[in-house]
A and B are shown apart, each in its own frame.
Chain A
């Protein structure tokens, strides 16, 4: 696509559907637009309904807001291109409160009450893990955008897939060569003492060893901690790199206190942007981050070598070159993750087209069609970059970006090859019955 339609044209999906319903007048209007024309011909078709399990409230709300905007934009684009199999796409949004119990209930609502064809969009791992058993029982394809390792670990089931974002195990493994080659081989890890932190601890310590480095100190921070000064003296003197993955509201305090502890003579510092998603890198107290490195799933700041795909994607979602909302620059996006929603919706579209999806009976065919996917080249469908999908583990693998904070901007200094994130398969979901 050379050009994305501007948002007002397709303001809301409901708007489009209502237009269709009113018939001739709407048709006349729609016929002026090639996009609408195509599903005007299939006007008798019901919309394809995609249940969007959204963290509107709870701890995931900042992510949820941006996941919703990205998904809306992706659906608007799909509809502008004629929908899926000639049918319009409708997002059915339900808040899960970032709670696994509610998450599972929401899936039941999608399947049994809203008659959704598939469910989609969950970020937080505990909600994914809490909901996936229900998805399996409902035989409802469940496309998550979580970056959790839960899918590829084999813990879930054949109906749960993650085709739009690389999982954390792969991300972490891919970081190790860069850290060892460029920052140092003696690493101290600082991480929250729960599952997310433990994943980093386990995967990174193994991966850095393969690169000839080692983690010389593990500093686990209890989740209730609000001040961190007592932990910094535990950092060994010979530390060359600090690897941190703190998350939550305390992260600003964490960075500030780390700055006070080290003063001007700091080791190299590498972190995951998860800590600072939806947070302005120019926030007071974050000055200390200047010169440090971050993993980014997708570069928040538009780079000098920005692809046309990223440019189009930014414009469609409504994000400026600094990674904030075009209407409110203080509203910083969750840019490193939210592309996963966009790409996943495009995977659903391709899968449904390949399976000639007509309704819930074709759900297994849809799963098989997605499982059969391999290459996902960089494109407007995949603006973050090329991906390889592993049908057996239901997990996508992509490039990772390492950025340095320079002049209060995140500049990409290294892009990992996809293969750097590979690890042996731990499950073959294709052998499980539907």
Chain B
């Protein structure tokens, strides 16, 4: 099999497993998987920029929350349908990521991290400042009666599972397509050697900007869907913590692999869930595991598999 065919088979296999999981796992894990699948979309979005272009953003909470608030405010104040509200959320993240990209890409390295961090902080403060509409730090509830798409009740666990699955599958296959495209390969080239890519005639700034937009829009889609599926829109999702989380998920799972973000999100979700049952210092446990992984599997879980076993893993 060609590498592309192998990787397509692998990712379709993962999706098939997730379909099967819906019927066999306990209600607890079923609910968790619904959340993980949406959060993995956030991680996949983050990975487009971090894993494939090598740009470390500390501001992706801005895009996630732009999607979430775009969706939530449209429903709350404009009374649009759930599907249209998702579109508003995704569009908000799209516009915002274009603006952030245009500004932040004038910097590199640490400056890029700081600029994205500051812009995200500005976004968080804006949510608090416009408290009359956003309900500030408290946030607001999307009432169950509005959480339907085409007559499907998104508060129903099975419907919600498949909604999350659908979004994950779409994003996973989209990213797979992206990294196999010549555009995606140029992104990798920029990550590996930016100057060389430029001197092959590629417009590095434009490629990076498009990558920021794809990354931010996917993150925004995750935020919009998360808010809708779980019925809450709140400012904590705009805090720096939610910029760090996708970075950790991607690092854990394997930056620059399509499957890594999902693996990392899944792993970290259960790591926190499990260790919080052991001790209230569960973030320390999570921290130790992260350090161990960094020492022994610096490429992340999927990255290590790619290095040792499956070099064709995209």
Q: Looking across the interface, which residue of chain A has its beta carbon closest to that of B39?
A: A101
Q: Give the number of residues in B that approach A within 8 Å (Cβ atoms).
A: 37
Chain A, 286-326, CB within 8 A of any chain B CB: none
Return the chain A residue nearest B132 by Cβ. A198
- Knowing A105-B32, A112-B26, A125-B138 touch, does A193 contact B231 (C-beta < 8 A)? no
Query: Judging by beta carbons under 8 Å apart, are A133 and B144 in contact?
Result: yes
Q: Which of A94, A126, A134, A222 contacts B125 (CB 8 A)?
A: A222
CB distance from A117 to the nearest CB of B (A): 16
Chain A residues within 8 Å of B155, by CB: 133, 137
Q: Which of B227-242 touch A at CB < 8 Å?
A: 230-232, 234-237, 241
Q: Which residues of B contact A1 (CB under 8 A)?
A: none
A126 to B129, CA, bound (A): 16
Pick the residue among B28, B129, B235 that contacts A108 (CB under 8 A): B28
Question: Which of B132, B237, B241, B280 gathers most chain A CB within 10 Å?
Answer: B280
- Chain B 272-292 against A: per-residue CB contact (8 Å), 1 yes, 0 no? 110011001011000000000
Hey, which chain B residues are within 8 Å of A109, CB to CB? 28, 273
In the assembled complex, the Cα of A412 lies from the Cα of B232 at a distance in Å of 39
- Asked if A217 is at the interface (CB within 8 A of a chain B CB), the reply is no
Determine whether the beta carbon of A113 is less than 8 Å from that of B138: no
| CA–CA, A94 and B231, complex, Å | 22
Q: A134 to B139, alpha carbons, bound, how many Å?
A: 15
Interface centre among B31, B272, B273 (most CB of A within 10 A): B31
Is A193 touching B135 in the complex (CB atoms < 8 A)? no
A112 and B129: CB pair below 8 A? Answer: no
- Complex alpha-carbon distance, A156 and B139, angstroms: 12
Indicate if A35 sits at the interface (CB-CB under 8 A). Answer: no
Q: Which of B35, B155, B232, B272 has the most CB of A within 10 A?
A: B232
Instruction: Give A224 to B137 CA distance when docked, in angstroms.
Output: 13
Give 1 or 0 for each of A141-172: 1 = CB within 8 Å of chain B CB: 00000001010000111000000000000000
**Are B131 and A198 interface neighbours, CB within 8 A?**
yes
Instruction: Establish whether residues B128 and A133, one from each chain, have CB atoms under 8 Å apart when the complex forms.
Output: no
Do B236 and A99 have beta carbons less than 8 Å apart? yes
| Contact B236 A126, beta carbon cutoff 8 Å | yes
Chain A residues, CB < 8 A from B135: 195
Contact of B139 among A95, A100, A105, A193 (CB under 8 A): A100
Does B152 lie at the interface of the complex (its beta carbon under 8 Å from any beta carbon of A)?
Answer: no
The answer to whether the Cβ of B141 comes within 8 Å of any Cβ in the partner chain is yes
- Residues in A with CB closer than 8 Å to B28 are 108-109, 112-113
Complex contacts, A56 vs chain B, CB 8 Å = 280
Q: B13 contacts the other chain (Cβ, under 8 Å)?
A: no
Whether B298 is near chain A, meaning CB under 8 Å from some CB there, is no
A: residues with CB less than 8 A from B are: 56-57, 94-95, 99-102, 104-105, 108-109, 112-113, 125-126, 129-130, 132-134, 136-137, 148, 150, 155-157, 193-196, 198, 222-224
With A134-B231, A224-B125 given, can you name 16 additional A-B contacts, CB distance below 8 Å? Answer: A94-B276, A100-B139, A101-B237, A105-B32, A105-B273, A112-B31, A126-B139, A126-B235, A126-B236, A130-B232, A134-B230, A194-B128, A195-B131, A195-B135, A195-B138, A223-B125
